[in-house]
Structure 1
Amino acid sequence: MAVYVYSIAEESHPLRLDDVTGVGEPPSELRTVTAGALCAVVSDAPDDLRPKRRDLNAHQQVQDRLMKDGTVLPLRFGLTAPDDDAVRTALEERGAEYADRLRALKGCAEYHLKVMQDEEALLRQILEASSVARQLNDEIRRGTAGPDAPLALGELVAQEVHARQQALAAGVVEALRPFSREEDSSQPTGSDFLSVSFLVPDDQEELFLATELSLANQMGDEFQFRLNGPLPPYSFV
């Protein structure tokens, strides 16, 4: 039977798992596979594994339970192996790499930050700052613009939006970087211009949170900061 893999930890981790169960219906029983100084928390994998709420919650509860007692490498939902021997072989072959990451993640949690800006406020700023954009916009509204004016205005605005939001994103990351050990940016979606994860040490958590709140207040109501955490450090495994 295929094996579902949740996390990798040092063999010395307490691994207190009596109060949690694994994925599947009925819930699967958790066990460990050990190789040298490392172990993996696994269970039997259900045949019809899909990202259903019940299984996603079960996966997360295992990570949360393990993180209460020590450092783990939390693997993303859905990782399976053919059997316990395959898991053991992976631990043996990549043991040094896993041990390095465990040391890097020790005493840390992940915080994920997304930031968006009100589009109307941003457009107003661009029109106020750019005489060319303002003139094109006025001509379009009066009906005196040439046929290429809407395209020209759209391209100009898009360039300004990109430049401004790139600068804003860099500024936010730069302000929070001193309180994190690592960062991992992802492609923003929707109206967001920033999507980034920070690996925050426990002793820097208060400063990180205070700085994020201060940034949100300084940038004003036209910006929306959405901070999620503390989380298992999935982005840094």
Structure 2
Amino acid sequence: MMSAQAGGTYLYAVLAGSEGAGETELSGIEGGAVYRITAGDISAVVGRVSRARLRPERKHLLAHQAVLRRLMEHTTVLPAAFGLVARSDESVRGRLLESQELFREQLAHVAGKVEMGLKVRWSTPNLFDYFVASHPELGAARDRMKGRHDIGREELITVGKLFESLREADRQAHAERVAAVLRARDVDLKWNPVKGEAEVMNLSCLVPREGLDAFEKLVEAAAEGFDDHFTFEFNGPWAPHSFTELKLPATSAQE
């Protein structure tokens, strides 16, 4: 087992071939050189770091993303999650040899594509009041409590659960409506957990790099079916983190 204080080989991405993709012009985490390790027809883009465990500090995260952005300008990548440090270059090379077919399959799946994020939110000052107005059963339950001083805890819990169940049902219905528009154009989707009561959906979308304008129009088409109580936000392009699985557990310097 290596100490967290010991250095290692930091992994940025895996890609096909041995030809350069602009990485030699970059400085990586801790200002170190970025270089390539090749095994067979698969390469890893890496750099040396002084610690086996890196804190997700802003400067480190920015350096990691800068390397990925530069690589994406030249080729298709399997991006590594932040903080993956191997014991040595040789341990990375060994895993590349062991996982050639897996990496080829993943590279083929995301070839020429990038990840876009899409979030939809309810845009209303008070979500409960919005649901009262749009769901008669919730409005009736709320009205039964108006002006009363004997409202018990169980009754409040029942109304709260009704609100939550209606919200979840609407989330699913709205998400399926949006997903149907995207899937009709063969957009690959990953569903991410929603955050906060006002978030309707949080999607990761795999789209052709050359089709970003078409994706924006597709989102606009999906939004046409919703009124002003909803906002659509998309972001990217990003490396396709949600559609690849790049793990090198046997080489981890943190073990």
Match of 1:53 in 2: 58
Match of 2:107 in 1: 102
Distance in 1, matches of 2:100 and 2:170, equals 44
Give TM-score scaled by structure 1 length: 0.90
Contact 2:24-2:33 within 8 A present in 1 as well: no
Helix, strand or coil at the partner of 1:219? coil
> What amino acid sits opposite 1:40 in the alignment?
A
> What amino acid sits opposite 1:106 in the alignment?
A
Structure 1 residues 65, 180: CA separation in 2 closer, same or farther (over 3 Å shift)? farther
Structure 1 residues 121, 221: CA separation in 2 closer, same or farther (over 3 Å shift)? farther
Match of 1:150 in 2: 156
Match of 2:173 in 1: 167
Structure 1 residues 128, 15: CA separation in 2 closer, same or farther (over 3 Å shift)? closer
Q: Provide the aligned length of Structure 1 versus Structure 2.
A: 235
Distance in 2, matches of 1:53 and 1:129, equals 43
Q: 2:83 aligns with which of 78, 87, 99?
A: 78
* 1:180 CA displacement: 4.4
Match of 1:115 in 2: 120
* 1:17 CA displacement: 2.1
Q: Deviations over 1:188-237 (max 9, x none)?
A: 11231211101101354322210212333541322122211111111111
Match of 1:9 in 2: 15
Give TM-score scaled by structure 2 length: 0.84
Identity %: 29
Structure 1 residues 109, 57: CA separation in 2 closer, same or farther (over 3 Å shift)? same
Helix, strand or coil at the partner of 1:14? coil
Distance in 1, matches of 2:210 and 2:47, equals 34
* 1:54 CA displacement: 1.1
Does residue 138 of structure 2 align to residue 133 of structure 1?
yes
Helix, strand or coil at the partner of 1:34? strand
Distance in 2, matches of 1:131 and 1:192, equals 22
Distance in 1, matches of 2:19 and 2:227, equals 44
Match of 1:193 in 2: 200
* 1:168 CA displacement: 0.4
* 1:139 CA displacement: 2.4
Distance in 2, matches of 1:121 and 1:177, equals 32
Contact 1:180-1:198 within 8 A present in 2 as well: no
Helix, strand or coil at the partner of 1:3? strand
Contact 1:139-1:145 within 8 A present in 2 as well: no
Helix, strand or coil at the partner of 1:142? coil
Distance in 2, matches of 1:164 and 1:121, equals 16
Match of 1:182 in 2: 188
Q: What do you get for the CA RMSD once the two structures are aligned?
A: 2.1
Contact 1:179-1:207 within 8 A present in 2 as well: no
Distance in 1, matches of 2:142 and 2:205, equals 40
Contact 2:23-2:45 within 8 A present in 1 as well: no
Contact 1:121-1:222 within 8 A present in 2 as well: no
Distance in 1, matches of 2:170 and 2:129, equals 13
Match of 1:216 in 2: 223
Segments of 5+ residues of structure 2 without an aligned counterpart are 1-6, 245-255
